């Protein structure tokens, strides 16, 4: 007993040292249960956000205004699915099971970013989502590239690189509309009006009310507070809106010379709480769609499994034989 | 004697990278040999060995056809989109 307790104490000390020295924790390292649980929750919810995030944009693939825009949007939505897969895989390195994570999403035990509970009503929303929502995601994700858990940090490096295309194509749509006819410009302004505040809410509650923050800081899962990241986004986005010639929908927005930051008016946190609690414009629709697609796709998964089982029975290997360098 | 592929993690936080291959009686010995062959100069902090026959690889000859779906999609890169000079932070 004493020996086991000593071993545990040594393992904890090694973990603490590792975090203190800013080293990455890898899947086979000992880690506290709370660290593992926190990461599984955060990474799986991040994965769910990517996958649910395919819906508002996916709804415009068949209605894109040109073949070029359609190809771009297809590529973007495909990326979001890919990001979900990187993240589910990272969570699986912690011992989480894919089915359990998906069940938690569908049963409402796991959340996803509340931004995806808003509808994409016009083509300009596709521009606003890429520009604002993906910019906010990048601001959130850049520090996660240095998160203490290795597989999550490495997934973030890949994702951030790909997100920069998402952000650019969104801004490109906004720019095209803003330089177009009066009706097109009005459509761009309307999209900005509807997406601005929900985007600011993406960074989570104000620091004073944030529940999970302090332990995540100690574990170096989180490195900047919600308010710091929100401010960073605002300082970037306001001048970008000026280049578009569009107005940020906030009468209190002002440049604060002393601090070198833009100051904004109050955020409607009641709205945020309502949407997180399940009462946003599209919460039910998003989950219903996810359930339907999972059910509709079940036969494909079964068919692939049946094919693999048949091949195994024949003694053949599924896929291509041959070691990478052995034949050379 | 089976062939093993050797993967080295150069330091914590980086992913394992393929370093080369070696022959060994079994996986345990492959790990010992890999340490002597591939990490004599502190090249890594972790080693993986995988039986070469367990790796399914794409075929070199098919590479053009296998990867060409990505060839005509330059719009997947951020640099495809021209931005006005005054835009910062995108």
* Predicted-complex ipTM score: 0.83
In a domain, residue B67? The reply is: no
Please give the pLDDT value at position A318: 54
- Residues of chain A with Cβ-Cβ distance to B88 below 8 Å are 236, 239-240
Residue B87 lies in a domain: no
pLDDT tens across B2-21, in order?
A: 999 999 999 999 999 999 99
Q: How far apart are CA A215 and CA A115, in angstroms?
A: 25
B18: its two tokens: 């393929």
CB pair distance less than 8 Å for B90 and A75: no
Contacts of B20 in chain A (CB under 8 A): 325
Counting the structural domains of chain B, the total is 1
Residues of A whose CB is below 8 A from B86: 243
Average pLDDT for runs of 10 along chain A of length 328: 86 96 94 97 97 97 97 96 96 96 96 96 98 97 96 96 94 98 98 98 91 84 95 98 98 97 97 95 97 96 95 72 46
Interface touch A326/B3, C-beta < 8 Å = yes
Q: Can you give the CATH number for the domain in which B13 is found?
A: 3.10.20.520
Structure tokens at A223: 């490195």
In chain A, helix, strand, coil percent, each to 5?
70, 0, 30
User: A246: buried, middle or exposed (CB in 10 Å: 19+, 13-18, 0-12)?
Assistant: buried
Residue B14 lies in a domain: yes
Q: B-contacting residues of A 30-89, CB under 8 Å?
A: 68, 71-72, 75, 79
Q: Between A23, A154, A168, which is nearest B15 by CB?
A: A154
The pLDDT score that the predictor gives to residue A307 is 94
C-alpha to C-alpha distance for A60 and A52, rounded to whole angstroms: 15
Residue-wise DSSP of A125-163? HHHHIIIIIHHHHHHHHHHHTT-SBHHHHHHHHHHHHHH
* Torsions phi, psi for B55 (to 5 deg): -95, 125
Domain assignment present for B80: no
Q: Which residue, A231, A12, A22, A18, is CA-closest to A147?
A: A22
Q: How far is B83 from chain A (nearest CA, A)?
A: 8
Q: Do A106 and A287 contact (CB within 8 A), yes or no?
A: yes
For A160, which residue in chain B has the nearest alpha carbon? B78
The residue segments making up the domain with residue B22 are 1-55
Does residue B50 fall inside a structural domain? yes
Cα–Cα distance measured from residue A160 to residue A135, given in angstroms and rounded to the nearest whole number:
10
Residues 261-290 of A with CB under 8 A from B: none
Angle between helices A283-296 and A33-52 (to 10 degrees): 90
DSSP conformation class of B6: E
Residue of B nearest to A328 (CA): B60
The DSSP element (H or E) to which B16 belongs, if any, is none
Whether A184 contacts A177, CB under 8 Å: yes
């Amino acid at each position: 007993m004493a020996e086991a307790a000593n071993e545990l104490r040594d393992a904890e000390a090694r973990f603490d040292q590792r975090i203190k020295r800013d080293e990455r924790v890898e899947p086979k390292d000992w880690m506290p249960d709370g660290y593992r649980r926190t990461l599984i929750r955060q990474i799986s919810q991040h994965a769910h956000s990517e996958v649910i995030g395919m819906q508002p944009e996916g709804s415009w693939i068949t209605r894109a205004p040109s073949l070029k825009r359609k190809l771009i949007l297809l590529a973007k939505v495909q990326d979001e699915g890919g990001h979900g897969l990187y993240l589910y895989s990272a969570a699986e390195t912690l011992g989480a099971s894919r089915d359990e994570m998906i069940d938690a999403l569908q049963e409402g035990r796991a959340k996803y970013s509340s931004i995806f509970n808003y509808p994409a009503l016009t083509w300009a929303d596709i521009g606003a989502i890429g520009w604002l929502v993906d910019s906010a995601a990048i601001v959130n994700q850049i520090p996660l590239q240095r998160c203490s858990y290795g597989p999550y940090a490495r997934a973030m490096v890949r994702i951030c690189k790909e997100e920069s295309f998402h952000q650019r194509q969104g801004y490109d749509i906004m720019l095209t509309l803003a330089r177009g006819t009066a009706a097109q410009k009005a459509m761009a302004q309307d999209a900005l009006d509807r997406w601005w505040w929900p985007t600011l809410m993406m960074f989570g509650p104000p620091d004073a009310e944030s529940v999970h923050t302090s332990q995540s800081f100690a574990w170096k899962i989180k490195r900047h507070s919600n308010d710091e990241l929100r401010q960073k986004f605002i300082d970037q986005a306001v001048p970008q809106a000026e280049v578009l010639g569009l107005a940020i929908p906030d009468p209190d927005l002002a440049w604060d010379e002393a601090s070198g930051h833009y100051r904004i008016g109050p955020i409607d946190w009641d709205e945020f709480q309502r949407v997180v609690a399940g009462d946003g414009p599209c919460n039910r629709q998003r989950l219903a769609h996810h359930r339907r697609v999972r059910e509709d796709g079940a036969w494909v998964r079964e068919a692939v499994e049946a094919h693999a089982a048949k091949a195994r029975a024949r003694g053949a290997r599924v896929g291509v034989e041959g070691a990478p360098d052995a034949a050379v | 004697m089976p062939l093993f592929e050797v993967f080295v993690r150069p330091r914590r936080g980086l992913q394992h990278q393929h370093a080369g291959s070696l022959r060994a009686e079994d996986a345990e010995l492959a790990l010992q040999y890999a340490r002597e062959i591939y990490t004599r100069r502190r090249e890594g902090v972790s080693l993986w060995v995988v039986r070469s026959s367990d790796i399914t690889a794409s075929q070199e000859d098919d590479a053009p056809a296998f990867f060409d779906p990505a060839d005509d999609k330059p719009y997947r890169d951020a640099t495809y989109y021209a931005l006005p000079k005054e835009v910062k932070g995108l």
